[in-house]
Amino acid sequence: MTDFATLLQPDRGQPARTIEIVHPDAYEDWLKGQPKRVRAMLAANKVTGKAGNKAILPGEGEEWSALLMCYENVSSPWRIASQPGFLPEGIYRLKSGEVGAAGLGWLLAQYRFDRYAKADRDSGPRVLLSSDAASIDETVRLAQATALVRDLVNTGSSDMGPAELEAEAEKLGKKHHATVTVTRGDALHKGYPMIDAVGRAAAKHRAPRLIELEWGNPKHPRVAVIGKGVCFDSGGLDIKPASGMRLMKKDMGGAAHALALVQLIMAARLPVRLHLLIPAVENAISADAFRPGDVLNSRKGLTVENTNTDAEGRLVLGDALTRAGEDKPELVIDFATLTGAARVALGPDLPATFVNDEALADDLLAAGTAVHDPLWRLPLWDGYDEYLKSDIADLINAPDNGYAGAVTAALFLRRFAPEGVPWAHLDTFAWRPTAKSGRPKGGEAYGLRAAWAMLKGRYSR
């Protein structure tokens, strides 16, 4: 993983190049105050003051500085994210001296996933100096958590199965002195029948399991974080077409978000009693695969008529939500790459967010806006509960009428969420289809910083 701690350092007056940020509306006035050599260079390079323009500004002798035309608000983490790829290696500071949220974009612009192929890049880092030394550690932790999501999602499924998710939880547990327990085999079959049903067709070395991590003082408020860990989703016997299967290595993106969030919680020593739950499975096809029309038992005792084996994520989450509720948490949040319907409605950037508690919804959405990690709330619409009716069981897992797929999936989960407990469900994409500054194509964290900001606001000392 990129060593982000070396890329954002306290400003102690050491020599550094200067980055000057100018708003496009202020460009003409700024330009008038520049030396003739600067104006000539900008004209020769056709810098017009439009947003996104960048230039190296000549100084005296070998001195130079950098210019960035930027509309981004000072609170945006992406304000200078285009700079590291433009500037040569070296040490830089903003002319204003205040880095603020922009430090995160600076770090994430230097993220590289090079597990399988060495990425093209210059030999040295771009170091940014910050006058706000107190915020550096938090910014580095956010970059590390985001990079963890990216790394896990970008990893091919052959190298990221249920066992590898378990290893990631074990690694976090060891680092932060947490307790990790794993349920598998007969214990899973008896205690978590929906997780077992979804994962039982996989090869033995990719067998299903429920991974749990607990950390913190038992006297502190109990918070459960759940992540969907479907390490590859073939669709099961309701097999996906090739186009639908191409990116299904990312179907464990919910687990990646959950691991990253608990990493932030433990690293900051947030005063909570943390409970992480990851139902880790591969939805494979074999003679033992669960079938359309099967009636599944659940940990909660509800029976579920399986109408579509490609609606498996909500099944494994149902058992995990039930388990989380048994220890009486005061808040539950789950992340899942759950429905294509959410992407059709909101695209890749906005996690469809379902919340059963107005105070939690307000806090979560406000946090997302504040940290430029937006969420979009969709309704837990009671009127669509009837779509989950079954003729032979307590409910079905997937209506076939084509309506409100993200909503009905959330309503299914609500049947298993702890009653009377604030609960948020984030149906997130975990993938960026098109690169932006500081945000390469590939695995991506959506809603992670929003959830972390909400938890900090609620539970900071």
Q: How far is CA 425 from the centre of its chain?
A: 13
Q: How far is CA 250 from CA 134, 261, 433, 445, in A?
A: 35, 17, 12, 11
pLDDT at 124: 82
pLDDT at residue number 123: 64
Cα atoms in the Cβ-side hemisphere of radius 13 Å centred on 379:
6
Tens of pLDDT along the chain (461 residues)? 789 999 999 999 999 999 999 999 999 999 999 999 999 999 998 999 999 999 999 988 788 999 999 999 889 999 999 999 999 999 999 998 789 999 999 999 999 999 999 766 556 899 999 999 889 999 999 999 999 999 999 999 999 999 999 999 999 999 999 999 999 999 999 999 999 999 999 999 999 999 999 999 999 999 999 999 999 999 999 999 999 999 999 999 999 999 999 999 999 999 999 999 999 999 999 999 999 999 999 999 999 999 999 999 999 999 999 999 999 999 999 999 999 999 999 999 999 999 999 999 999 999 999 999 999 999 999 999 999 999 999 999 999 999 999 999 999 999 999 999 999 999 999 999 999 999 999 999 999 999 999 999 999 96
Residue 96 has a pLDDT of 85
This prediction has a pTM of: 0.97
Rounded Cα gap, residues 284 and 52, in angstroms: 46
Task: Please check whether residue 315 is in contact with residue 397, taking contact to mean a CB–CB distance below 8 angstroms.
Answer: yes
Query: Looking at residue 17, what is its pLDDT?
Result: 95
Residue 13 near residue 134 (C-beta atoms within 8 A): no
Catalytic positions, please? 240, 314
Element (H, E) at 32: helix 27-32
Pairing of strands 90-94, 17-22: parallel
Rounded CA-CA distance 147/104 in Å is: 11
Give the pLDDT confidence score for residue 61 in this predicted structure: 78
Dihedral sign (CA 450, 455, 457, 461): negative
- Give every CB contact of residue 174 below 8 A, 6+ residues apart in sequence: none
Q: Are 336 and 428 in contact (CB under 8 A)?
A: yes
CB 50 within 8 A of CB 169: no
Among residues 430, 260, 414, the alpha carbon closest in space to that of 338 is found at 430
